[in-house]
Amino acid sequence: MKIAILPGDGIGTEIVAEAVKVLQALDLSFESETALVGGAAYEAHGHPLPEATLNLAKAADAVLFGAVGDWKYDKLERALRPEQAILGLRKHLGLFANFRPAICYEQLTHASSLKPELVAGLDILIIRELTGDIYFGAPRGRRTAVDGHFPGAEEAFDTMRYSKPEIERIAHVAFQAARKRGKRVTSVDKANVLETFQFWKDVVTEVHVQYPDVALDHMYVDNAAMQLVKAPKKFDVVVTGNMFGDILSDEAAMLTGSIGMLPSASLDRNNKGLYEPSHGSAPDIAGKGIANPLATILSAAMMLRFSLNQAEAADRIESAVRTVLSAGLRTADIWSEGTQKVSTREMGDAVVSAVRGASVKTITTITKS
Ligand code: NAD
């Protein structure tokens, strides 16, 4: 097994270090190599996704990614901005299906911004299409308007588009994932206004014929955003396009208590994948040692399960995370009265101890010392 490790910027380096420690504690045999990506790669090599980094990612069985970005790069031309690295990796590795589970751990129901009874037992899987939509459609740019409300004015425009095969393959992924869970798919669109999403709805409905054992319903994105905070537990698998998925998965993240708890996987057609926390590089807390590493540690567990065929090792990590949460350990983002506030490194150490089978009491002693 070869893993490419790309920590990136901001808290990326801090949280990936903890996930690597946890992987090492499993005593599996794997080879890993680390490379620069994002702003760190731009500083060193003048490009956010240098060829060496891309080649390493291509050669690996899986990529463990931290996060990229910092406000200081906002003035760079778009192609050189750190965030282009993640878009480039998705494109070159053929990653089209983004899995974002939103699970509310029973120990964290009080960290959610919703009432505990609304989120207790929450287990949603958001599947976001990654290659199409308004993020990649051409043409795009700035120009002088020739029509519209203000002819002659400066304007900007993007193009929303989806091809039939793009929608079909993500629909298959969603129905197959639902078969292993609650057998319900909600397809989120904006078919009432957008041609692209009427097409999306039609194609998803067509594919559904092959999955009679899975229930399908359609929901407009504005309603889905509302239902996610009103009655989130009624969702099982949510499948949607690139932009709606980007927004809804962050909304779902907050239901779980903190975006610092949410792992993600981006898979190609052969289940090779890139695994990263759902959050960004959090420049506001970078270098302070307070970031929550659990989303990245749980992403490493997804990597073991989806790409490396090590389901048992993945279970060990997930159960270790439950153990440390039950022991009352919390990073600042999920801390509440009566729990013990720990640093990024202390949280990583505690998960390592739990993976190795240390008791909850031992974990608390170790992290306090
Ligand atoms: P962000 O996710 O980095 O941060 C949003 C908020 O959540 C911040 O208050 C941050 O402190 C907090 N947060 C995030 N992760 C946390 C963690 N593990 N523990 C505790 N708190 C955490 O989003 P942003 O502030 O909008 O963006 C910051 C930078 O990250 C930008 O440059 C953006 O482009 C980039 N970004 C990168 C990715 C990626 O690498 N895939 C994704 C999203 C944003």
Q: Is residue 14 scored above 60 in pLDDT?
A: yes
Quick one: which H or E segment has residue 214?
A: none
Is residue 156 in a domain? Answer: no
* Reported confidence tier of residue 30, pLDDT bands at 50, 70, 90: very high
| Shortest-distance Cα residue to atom 43 of ligand 1 | 280
* Annotated catalytic residue 246: yes
Are the beta carbons of 334 and 261 closer than 8 angstroms? yes
CA of 367 to the centre of ligand 1 (A): 26
Strands of 123-129's sheet in order across: 31-34, 2-8, 62-67, 273-277, 263-267, 97-103, 123-129, 237-240, 184-189, 215-220
Is residue 32 in a domain? Answer: yes
pLDDT at 258 (0 to 100):
82
Q: Which long-range contacts (CB under 8 A, 24 or more apart) does 221-224 make?
A: 221/188, 221/189, 221/190, 221/247, 221/248, 222/190, 224/186, 224/188, 224/248
| Shortest-distance Cα residue to atom 27 of ligand 1 | 280
State whether 304 and 346 are in the same domain: yes
Q: Point out the catalytic residue in the list 135, 220, 233, 268.
A: 135
* Annotated catalytic residue 190: yes
CA of 318 to the centre of ligand 1 (A): 23
* Reported confidence tier of residue 362, pLDDT bands at 50, 70, 90: very low
pLDDT at 255 (0 to 100):
86
Is residue 144 in a domain? Answer: no
| Shortest-distance Cα residue to atom 40 of ligand 1 | 67
State whether 277 and 352 are in the same domain: yes
Give me the chain's average pLDDT, please. 94
Q: Is residue 165 scored above 50 in pLDDT?
A: yes
CA of 234 to the centre of ligand 1 (A): 28
State whether 113 and 247 are in the same domain: yes
* Percent of the chain residues past pLDDT 70, beyond the cut: 97
State whether 233 and 340 are in the same domain: no
State whether 278 and 346 are in the same domain: yes
* Whole-number Å distance between alpha carbons of 120 and 108: 9
* Percent of the chain residues past pLDDT 90, beyond the cut: 86
What domain range includes position 347?
1-96+268-369
Q: Is residue 369 scored above 70 in pLDDT?
A: no
State whether 26 and 107 are in the same domain: no
Residue 155 has φ and ψ, to the nearest 5°, of -145, 165
Is residue 72 in a domain? Answer: yes
pLDDT digits (tens, 9 = 90+) for 243-288: 999 999 988 888 887 889 999 999 999 989 999 998 999 999 999 9
* Annotated catalytic residue 135: yes
Mean pLDDT confidence for 58-62 = 97
pLDDT at 359 (0 to 100):
58
State whether 111 and 238 are in the same domain: yes
Angle at 311 between CA 310 and CA 316, to 5 degrees: 100
State whether 122 and 192 are in the same domain: yes
> How would you class 145 by CB atoms within 10 Å of its CB: exposed for 0-12, middle for 13-18, buried for 19 or more?
middle
Place of tokens 């976001």: 128
| Shortest-distance Cα residue to atom 26 of ligand 1 | 280
pLDDT at 368 (0 to 100):
43
State whether 221 and 272 are in the same domain: no
Q: Is residue 361 scored above 80 in pLDDT?
A: no
In the listed set 212, 232, 258, which residue is the last one of a domain according to the structure? 258
State whether 108 and 247 are in the same domain: yes
Q: Is residue 147 scored above 90 in pLDDT?
A: yes
